[in-house]
Structure 1
Amino acid sequence: MVYWERSPRRQFVDVSPSGSFFFLEFGTSILQQALFVTIGFAVVSVFFETVIGFGQAYVLDQAFRGRHWVRVATIPPWAVPVVIQGVVVFLLFQPEVGFGTELGRWLGIFGPNPLADSQDAFVIVLVADIWKSAAFMTFLILAGLQSIDRSLYDVARAAGASPCQRFLALVFPALLVAMLFRTMDTMRVYGLIESSVASNRQPKSVNSRGC
């Protein structure tokens, strides 16, 4: 990456990380690395958000006493601003401040400074994103479930459709819309990473003369 200063000399900043990340060696180009990591993040995040969101939406779609209060209680994670969420994650996993690092080390899943490690930071940001966005997926899927005419379930049951066939024919199209919308939104993830992990990354600057 190149940036310009007032002096006529250019300064090249080495932003290439070192080490490996699961299936990807960091010797590859930065574009290829970013593409694979972003796609992997989106796939895993949307999968778990869909599973959690569908479970919550299915419960909220049933008629029971206090359903409106349960719906209200589902909103707070999504209402938290991204920057505040990122700062909380940053403080939670600081070696000298937060208890998240000690808990992770006690469980044997994190190192001494997880936000400075690529694999640990990926998992932390992934879990934080799922926690926040699962609530949004819940209401997207709930809107899709409530848009389905209840009589269609009876018609499909009378026609001899199995539970799996009823799910694929009636419910799954509503899930696809929510998954498509959420996938596009997940591919744009930046604020959470910038506010929680970026401060642990200090790129090395290398002056290159004659360039």
Structure 2
Amino acid sequence: MTTPLTGTAESRPAAAAHQARRRRPRSEILWGYAFIAPTGLGLVIFYLWPVLQTAYFSFTEWGAFGGHTWTGLENYTRLLSDPEVGQAVLNTVLYTALGLLGIPLAIVFAALMNRPRLRGVGLYRTAFFLPVVTMPVAVAMLWRWLYNGDYGLVNQVLAVVGIDGPNWIADPATAMYALVVVGIWSSVGYNLIIFLAGMQGIPKELYEAASMDGAGPVRQFFRITLPMLSPTAFFVSIVSVIGSLQLFDLVFVMTGSGQAARANPAYSRLQTVVQLFYERAFVTDDRGYAAAIVIALLVLIAALTFVQFRLQRRWVHYA
């Protein structure tokens, strides 16, 4: 019978760190909490408390002149049977899934810009990153003009080659894909910069050794660059999914809201969860139901993020 060893080499650093923390004077610990207190209070006041308050309001019904009454699960029961909510969730998930196509596009552009002795790389970075720093309202107004079915630049270019382009935002067959193009165009620059930083952190010795073994640029990309970019791609995918699920400004500016937006034939194909929340909270003044919608969105984001973390762990396990 054997007994487990105690005080092994692996456990000694952890034990020493624990003893060091115990020997710290109380004043030093208090100063540490004092330094993080402003940030902690800001998180509690501006993030945690609104979430808790919204969760409470999701179980209430608001009157026309203010005030609310407790209704229990009535809002959530109504939410599960509301076809407009189901369509908004479907639109949001579809936009999110199609928007992920911008990640491999950003990787390809980053790999092209990471080549040694590339001239004008600073100009390329600026051109790609410019849509990221542009106001979303300005981006939406620009693309709304480009997609116009009567005088939009896209249809004018297509007319030169004999193609009669549709009214991209008003056509249910093309509205979602047109919106996805705008989303990818406005976010690919941010993803490109992140991937470019990740590529520049890959040791050059790996590429030199691969070149000595006869591996060409394409094989080096798939055998070295992509595997080493796995953590970066995971981060970008998390940020992209969360941002896509919260889509509002592009749809709001390009389609409007209220009766003007509902007059659009493609309105049901473009309405997102956040836009539905806005209309229920600020247009129809159904705040309790709107709170239930946004809590459901929070659960959806948490669930998809959890799935992504699980897939990442499995990827690392098999890699």
1:107 aligns with 2:160: no
The residue number in structure 1 matching 2:267 is: none
Residue among 164, 167, 176 paired with 1:122: 176
Which segments of 5 or more consecutive residues in structure 1 lack a partner in the other structure?
Answer: 7-26, 204-211
1:149-168 residue pairs with structure 2 within 5 A?
149-154=203-208, 163=220, 164-168=222-226
The answer as to whether partners of 2:199 and 2:225 remain within 8 angstroms in 1 is no
Once the two structures are TM-superposed, the CA of residue 118 in structure 1 deviates from its matched residue by 3.0
1:140 aligns with 2:200: no
Residues 180/158 of structure 1: CA separation in 2 closer, same or farther (3 Å cut): farther
The residue number in structure 2 matching 1:175 is: 233
Residues 75/30 of structure 1: CA separation in 2 closer, same or farther (3 Å cut): same
Which one-letter code corresponds to 1:193 in the other structure? V
Secondary structure of the residue aligned to 2:246 is: coil
1:46-57 residue pairs with structure 2 within 5 A?
46-47=100-101, 49-57=102-110
Secondary structure of the residue aligned to 1:107 is: coil
Higher relative contact order (CA 8 A, sep 6+): 1
Report Cα offsets for 1:39-94 as digits up to 9, x if no partner.
111111121x1122112111221222332232223222222211011112223333
Which one-letter code corresponds to 2:173 in the other structure? Q
Give the Cα separation in 2 of the matches to 1:3 and 1:85: 36
Secondary structure of the residue aligned to 1:196 is: helix
1:190 aligns with 2:248: yes
Once the two structures are TM-superposed, the CA of residue 194 in structure 1 deviates from its matched residue by 0.5
The residue number in structure 2 matching 1:201 is: 261
1:44 aligns with 2:94: no
Larger Rg: 2
Secondary structure of the residue aligned to 1:133 is: helix
Once the two structures are TM-superposed, the CA of residue 160 in structure 1 deviates from its matched residue by 10
Give the Cα separation in 2 of the matches to 1:172 and 1:160: 24
The answer as to whether partners of 1:95 and 1:102 remain within 8 angstroms in 2 is no
Once the two structures are TM-superposed, the CA of residue 102 in structure 1 deviates from its matched residue by 5.8
Secondary structure of the residue aligned to 2:169 is: helix
| RMSD between aligned residues | 3.3
Once the two structures are TM-superposed, the CA of residue 31 in structure 1 deviates from its matched residue by 2.2
The answer as to whether partners of 1:42 and 1:186 remain within 8 angstroms in 2 is yes
Once the two structures are TM-superposed, the CA of residue 97 in structure 1 deviates from its matched residue by 4.4
Which segments of 5 or more consecutive residues in structure 2 lack a partner in the other structure?
Answer: 1-60, 66-80, 264-319
Give the Cα separation in 2 of the matches to 1:165 and 1:88: 40
Report Cα offsets for 1:145-185 as digits up to 9, x if no partner.
12222224446778999644434532333222222222221
Give the Cα separation in 2 of the matches to 1:96 and 1:157: 54
Secondary structure of the residue aligned to 2:262 is: coil
Give the Cα separation in 2 of the matches to 1:118 and 1:154: 51
Give the Cα separation in 2 of the matches to 1:160 and 1:101: 48
Give the Cα separation in 1 of the matches to 2:138 and 2:256: 14
Give the Cα separation in 2 of the matches to 1:29 and 1:72: 43
Secondary structure of the residue aligned to 1:116 is: coil
The residue number in structure 1 matching 2:112 is: 59
Secondary structure of the residue aligned to 1:94 is: coil
Which one-letter code corresponds to 2:185 in the other structure? W
Give the Cα separation in 1 of the matches to 2:158 and 2:244: 25
Secondary structure of the residue aligned to 2:115 is: coil
The answer as to whether partners of 2:131 and 2:139 remain within 8 angstroms in 1 is no
Once the two structures are TM-superposed, the CA of residue 129 in structure 1 deviates from its matched residue by 1.1
Residues 167/67 of structure 1: CA separation in 2 closer, same or farther (3 Å cut): closer
The answer as to whether partners of 2:141 and 2:254 remain within 8 angstroms in 1 is yes
